[in-house]
Amino acid sequence: MSRKQILIIDDDEDLSFIISEMLESYGYTVTCAHNSEKAFELLSGNTYHLILLDINLPDTTGFELCRELRRVSTVPVIFASARTSETDRITGFDIGGDDYLPKPYSMKELLSRVNALIRRTYGFGTEEKTVTFGNISVNITARTVTKKGESLSLSLREFDLLAYLCEHMNTAVSKDKLLSEVWGAFAAVETSTLAVHIRWLREKLEERPAEPEFIKTVYKVGYMLEVKE
C-alpha cells in the first residue's frame, strides 16, 4: 500500500512534532503547517489523504479553514481541539468535519481515529474501485469524479451520496436508507436535504438535469443510479 499523506494544521509546534513522529512510525507521511496561510500554500500544490485540524489558529479558526477547504475538497478532516463544548463539536461536523477529537488525547486514541477514518475513506486494499457510466468516471477509492475527462468538484456529502449510489447501481435505494448511510443513523436531517443534494448531483453530472439519464427518482421509494449494460 502506498504511504498515506497526512497534513497537521496546528500552531503547537511541539505537539505537531510529537504527532508526526508517532504517525510516521506507523507508515504515514506527515507534513505540518502552523497557520492557515501555510496550510493553503501546501494544499494548493499537494494531495493529502487526511487533515488533522486544530480550531484555534493564529490567523483564523479551524472552522473557517474547513469551510474554505470544503469548497474545493472532500479530504477527510479530524478536528483536534481543546474546545470541547457541544456547540463546537456540532459546528465541526456541520461544516464538513469527519471526526472530532478533544484535547488532551492519547497518541493511541489519535492513531486509532486516523486509522479508522483512512479505512472508511480509502478501504483496506490497494485496488482502486472505479465506476464508469456515460462520460462520468467515479473513483470511489481516491474520491475523485471526472466528466468528459475533466475533474468535477463535489462536496463531501455529494461524493458520499454518489459513491453509495454507485455501490448499489441499478438498485432502488430508499430515502431513509440514503439518509442513514450517508448522513448517519442519528443525524437530524430532513428528506428535503437529500432531495437538494440529488438535484446538485444531477446539475453537475447530467446533460439534462431535469430529465436525468442516470440518477433516477423511484416513485414512492427513493433514488437509483441506472447504468445500462
**pLDDT tens digits, one per residue of 135-191:** 999 988 777 899 999 988 887 788 889 989 998 999 999 999 998 888 776 566 788
Apex CA 105: angle with CA 99 and CA 109, to 5°?
A: 65
According to the model, what pLDDT value does residue 141 have? 74
Residue 40 identity: F
Q: What is the pLDDT of residues 127-137, one digit of tens each?
A: 567 899 999 99
Grid cell, residue 45, equals 500544490
* Complete edge-to-edge strand list for the sheet that includes strand 77-81: 29-33, 5-9, 50-53, 77-81, 99-102
How many other CB atoms are found less than 10 A from the CB of residue 221? 12
Answer whether residue 76 shows pLDDT above 90.
yes
Q: Map residue 194 onto helix, strand or coil.
A: helix
pLDDT at 127 (0 to 100) = 58
> Please, which pLDDT band fits residue 200 given cuts at 50, 70 and 90?
very high
Question: Residue type at 9?
Answer: I
More confident residue, 216 or 159: 216
Which pLDDT belongs to residue 1?
44
What structural domains and CATH numbers belong to the chain?
A: 5-122 (3.40.50.2300), 130-225 (1.10.10.10)
Asked if 55 contacts 100 with a C-beta cutoff of 8 angstroms, the reply is no
Based on C-alpha coordinates, what's the Rg of the chain?
Answer: 19
Instruction: Indicate the SS3 state at residue 227.
Output: coil
Q: Which residues contact 120 (CB under 8 A, 6 or more apart)?
A: none
Closest CA to 52 of 116, 109, 100: 100
Residue 125: pLDDT above 70? Answer: no
Q: How many CB atoms sit inside 10 A of residue 120's CB?
A: 11
For residue 93, the tally of other CB atoms under 10 A from its CB is: 14
Kind plus residue range of the DSSP H or E element containing 126: none
Residue in 211, 226, 124, 99 with CA at minimum distance from that of residue 169 = 226
Q: What pLDDT sits at residue 124?
A: 56
pLDDT band at 104 (very low <50, low <70, confident <90, very high): confident
Answer yes or no: is pLDDT of 2 > 70.
Answer: no
DSSP state of 4: P
- What pLDDT is attached to residue 185? 60
| pLDDT score, position 126 | 47
Instruction: Report the C-alpha gap between 30 and 21 in whole angstroms.
Output: 8
Region 96-119 average pLDDT:
90
Question: Do residues 205 and 136 touch, judged by C-beta distance below 8 A?
Answer: yes
**What's the mean per-residue pLDDT of the chain?**
89
